[in-house]
């Protein structure tokens, strides 16, 4: 029988930073459980052979480092984006935590370059965005890069293991052990039980379904966040250069005229690549930028946020339904030229080849996104592309490429205390999987909040 002071489920940013904070605040016996592989075994076969072999779990989204291991590695240093952690701890404390998180990434090798510091240029871009009907959220961004993330995560892992933290990869949590309203440990899929005085749940977006099932089984109160569904847009890097050279990540928000829906840019990848992301049995689209390797294209997501009301309470399932439909029609990811979408015709390989933009994800299937996305979503997206074209001429070009679909699964939010504790005593839930964050910085910060609460109880 294994007993620990703290058991952490998930080794993404939230889980890693919880462990880092704990070893800084005392001597704890810590176990980290991760259903995916170790960092060195997370290479994606598709990036080598060009063919997805359906690894289970997906090596891109699961394993040491979580989905962040292969993310673009952007640290958004503001309280205005990246989640809702400020609602629990207050924006003043969150701002201090963001600085603290940033310093730790620097300590483990993060780039010292920060984008968005020229206030005059940012004000000018903000004014131009307003004239185009867009709202620009000013923020400072530190870009780590997908390739540099690997090294940083390796150093963090080695540091934790050097301080006695036990890490068990390819180990799936089946369910929580709760007795008398207190958490006692975790029952593993292997049949083994591990016991912990405290348990931190940090399963990430990949584990959001599992966490939702456990919340339902334990009677934890939950609410549904908005579900984000949309497309990834790919254009020549020169088109986005006026924004990316100064801001790197341009956070732009638009409210559609037809439906007053919120549409936003997400995960801007200057000189980057479009890539697939597999969650369970569905394939969605994502993007990456590397610190060293550059392409001639830039890409970003356009996401429509939808908050469902009663009686529907399953936004994650709705997002998966849309993604499965795209997979059914496109055998994975669909690609379409903007001009073809507007003309009401599907894209063909010949039409994509005539585009001024050479796709960085050549395995996408030319098709018609209008058979996948509801009219409301397409209308919202086309409206925002028109507004973006005023700010960065060329985005609305007929040759602009659209990939679909992109879905973000952070729809379930568990009711938590300011210390991020559930109603089950000593059971904490953090990160994107708990529905309170949606980015590296706030996810990392949420792990620190839970760790500090545990360290405080231990004295």
Residue 42 is predicted with a pLDDT of 78
**Domain coverage including residue 37:** 2-126+139-223+415-458
Over pLDDT 90: what percentage of the chain?
A: 74
Q: 227, exposed or middle or buried, with CB in 10 Å at 0-12, 13-18, 19+? A: buried
The predicted model gives 332-341 an average pLDDT of: 97
Q: Is residue 209 part of a domain?
A: yes
Above 90 in pLDDT, residue 40? no
Q: Pick the closest to residue 4 from 197, 235, 277 (CA basis).
A: 197
Enter the tokens of residue 64.
């040491």
Domain edge (last residue) among 371, 386, 408 = 408
Identify the band that residue 291 occupies on the pLDDT scale cut at 50, 70 and 90: low
Residue 317 is predicted with a pLDDT of 85
Enter the tokens of residue 284.
């969605």
Residue 58 is predicted with a pLDDT of 66
Lowest mean pLDDT among 134-138, 173-177, 189-193, 306-310: 306-310
Q: Are residues 23 and 144 in the same domain?
A: yes
Identify the band that residue 53 occupies on the pLDDT scale cut at 50, 70 and 90: low
Q: Are residues 154 and 234 in the same domain?
A: no
Q: 292, exposed or middle or buried, with CB in 10 Å at 0-12, 13-18, 19+? A: exposed
Above 60 in pLDDT, residue 47? no
Residue 367 is predicted with a pLDDT of 97
The predicted model gives 343-361 an average pLDDT of: 96
Could you tell me the CATH number of the domain that includes residue 49? Answer: 3.50.50.60
Which residue did the predictor score with more confidence, 245 or 311? 245
Identify the band that residue 45 occupies on the pLDDT scale cut at 50, 70 and 90: low
Above 50 in pLDDT, residue 48? no
Q: What is the mean pLDDT of the chain?
A: 91
Enter the tokens of residue 385.
């592309």
Q: For residues 170 and 188, is the Cβ–Cβ distance under 8 A?
A: no
Q: Is residue 180 part of a domain?
A: yes
Identify the band that residue 373 occupies on the pLDDT scale cut at 50, 70 and 90: very high
Above 80 in pLDDT, residue 279? no
pLDDT, one tens digit per residue, over 297-311 is 999 999 999 888 778
Q: Which residues, in sequence order, are CB contacts of 110 under 8 Å at separation 6+? A: 75, 102, 142, 144, 148, 152
Q: Is residue 133 part of a domain?
A: no
Residue 290 is predicted with a pLDDT of 77
Residue 60 is predicted with a pLDDT of 66
Residue 52 is predicted with a pLDDT of 57
Q: Are residues 438 and 337 in the same domain?
A: no
Q: Is residue 342 part of a domain?
A: yes
Angle (nearest 5°) at CA 208 between 202 and 210: 95
Lowest mean pLDDT among 59-73, 86-100, 430-444: 59-73
Q: Are residues 153 and 37 in the same domain?
A: yes
Chain centroid to Cα 160, Å, comes to: 24
Rounded CA-CA distance 428/430 in Å is 7
Residue 203 is predicted with a pLDDT of 93
Q: Are residues 254 and 163 in the same domain?
A: no
Enter the tokens of residue 359.
């796709």
Q: What does R_g of the chain's alpha carbons equal in angstroms?
A: 21
The predicted model gives 273-297 an average pLDDT of: 87
Identify the band that residue 345 occupies on the pLDDT scale cut at 50, 70 and 90: very high
Beta bridge pairs of residue 136: 252
Q: Are residues 174 and 264 in the same domain?
A: no
Q: Is residue 132 part of a domain?
A: no
Count Cβ atoms below 10 Å from residue 350 Cβ, excluding itself: 8
Residue 240 is predicted with a pLDDT of 96
SS3 per-residue string spanning the chain: CEEEEEEEECCCHHHHHHHHHHHHHCCCCEEEECCCCCHHHCCCCHHHHCCCCCCCCCCCCCCCCHHHHHCCCEEECCCCCCECCHHHHCHHHHHHHHHHHHHHHHHCCCCCCEECCCHHHHHHHHHHHHHCCCEEECCCEEECCHHHHHHHHHHHHHHHHHCCCEEECCCCEEEEEEECCEEEEEEECCCCEEEEEEEEECCCHHHHHHHHHHHHHHCCCEEECCEEEEEEEEEEHHHHHHHHHHHCCCEEEEECCCCCCEEEEEEEECCCEEEEEEECCEEEEEEECCCCCCCCEEEEEEEEEECCCCCCCCHHHHHHHHHHHHHHHHCCCEEEEHHHHHHCCCCCHHHHHCCCCCCCCCCCEECCHHHCCCHHHHHHHHHHHHHHHHHCCCCCCCCCEEEEEEEECCCEEECCCCCCECCCECEEECCHHHCCECCHHHHHHHHHHHHHHHHHHHC
Above 60 in pLDDT, residue 318? yes
Rounded CA-CA distance 328/200 in Å is 37
Q: Are residues 199 and 235 in the same domain?
A: no
Q: Which residues, in sequence order, are CB contacts of 77 under 8 Å at separation 6+? A: 98, 99, 102, 114, 139, 140, 141, 142, 441
Q: Is residue 134 part of a domain?
A: no
Q: Is residue 81 part of a domain?
A: yes
Q: Is residue 28 part of a domain?
A: yes
Q: Are residues 233 and 218 in the same domain?
A: no
Lowest mean pLDDT among 3-12, 209-218, 232-241, 274-283: 274-283
Q: For residues 163 and 30, is the Cβ–Cβ distance under 8 A?
A: no
Q: Are residues 294 and 419 in the same domain?
A: no
Q: Are residues 404 and 371 in the same domain?
A: yes
Above 50 in pLDDT, residue 101? yes
The predicted model gives 127-149 an average pLDDT of: 90
Above 80 in pLDDT, residue 438? yes
Above 50 in pLDDT, residue 26? yes
Rounded CA-CA distance 456/325 in Å is 48
> What's the total number of domains in the chain?
2
The predicted model gives 80-84 an average pLDDT of: 91
Domain edge (last residue) among 391, 408, 425 = 408
Q: Are residues 76 and 160 in the same domain?
A: yes
Rounded CA-CA distance 167/183 in Å is 20
Q: Are residues 217 and 230 in the same domain?
A: no
Q: For residues 201 and 430, is the Cβ–Cβ distance under 8 A?
A: yes
The predicted model gives 392-401 an average pLDDT of: 97
| Whole-prediction pTM | 0.86
How close are the terminal C-alpha atoms of the chain, in Å? Answer: 26
The predicted model gives 24-37 an average pLDDT of: 96
Count Cβ atoms below 10 Å from residue 222 Cβ, excluding itself: 17
Residue 49 is predicted with a pLDDT of 46
């Amino acid at each position: 029988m294994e007993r620990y002071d703290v058991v952490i489920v998930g080794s993404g940013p939230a889980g890693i930073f919880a462990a880092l904070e704990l070893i800084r605040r005392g001597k704890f016996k810590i176990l980290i459980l991760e259903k995916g592989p170790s960092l060195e075994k997370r290479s994606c076969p598709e990036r080598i052979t060009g063919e997805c072999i359906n690894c289970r779990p997906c090596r891109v989204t699961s394993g040491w480092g979580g989905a962040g291991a292969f993310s673009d590695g952007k640290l958004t240093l503001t309280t205005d984006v990246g989640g809702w952690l400020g609602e629990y701890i207050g924006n003043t404390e969150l701002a201090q935590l963001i600085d603290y998180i940033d310093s730790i990434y620097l300590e483990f090798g993060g780039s010292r370059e920060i984008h968005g510091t020229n206030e005059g240029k940012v004000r000018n871009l903000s004014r131009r965005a307003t004239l185009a009907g867009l709202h620009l959220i000013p923020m400072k961004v530190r870009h780590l890069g997908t390739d540099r993330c690997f090294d940083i995560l390796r150093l963090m892992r080695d540091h934790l293991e050097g301080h006695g933290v036990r890490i068990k990869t390819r180990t799936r949590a089946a369910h929580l052990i709760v007795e008398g309203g207190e958490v006692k440990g975790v029952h593993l899929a292997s049949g083994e039980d591990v016991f912990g005085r405290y348990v931190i749940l940090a399963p990430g977006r990949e584990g959001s379904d599992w966490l939702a099932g456990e919340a339902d089984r334990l009677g934890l109160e939950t609410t549904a966040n908005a579900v984000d569904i949309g497309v990834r847009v790919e254009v020549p890097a020169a088109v986005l250069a006026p924004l990316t050279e100064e801001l790197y990540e341009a956070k732009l928000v638009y409210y559609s005229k037809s439906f007053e829906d919120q549409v936003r840019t997400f995960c801007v990848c200057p000189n980057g690549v479009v890539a697939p992301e597999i969650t369970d049995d569905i394939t969605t689209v994502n993007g990456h930028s590397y610190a060293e390797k550059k392409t001639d294209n830039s890409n970003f997501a356009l996401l429509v946020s939808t908050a469902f009301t009663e009686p529907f309470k399953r936004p994650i399932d709705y997002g998966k339904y849309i993604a499965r439909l795209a997979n059914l029609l496109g055998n994975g990811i669909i690609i379409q030229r903007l001009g073809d979408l507007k003309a009401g015709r599907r894209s063909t390989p010949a039409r994509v080849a005539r585009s001024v933009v050479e796709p960085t994800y050549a395995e996408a299937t030319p098709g018609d996104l209008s058979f996948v996305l509801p009219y409301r979503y397409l209308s919202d997206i086309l409206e925002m592309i028109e507004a973006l074209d005023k700010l960065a001429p060329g985005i609305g070009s007929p040759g602009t490429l659209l990939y679909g679909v992109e879905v973000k699964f952070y729809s379930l939010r568990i009711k938590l205390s300011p210390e991020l504790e559930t109603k089950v005593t000593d059971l904490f839930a953090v990160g994107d999987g708990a529905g309170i964050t949606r980015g590296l910085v706030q996810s990392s910060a949420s792990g620190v909040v839970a760790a500090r609460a545990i360290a405080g109880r231990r004295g």
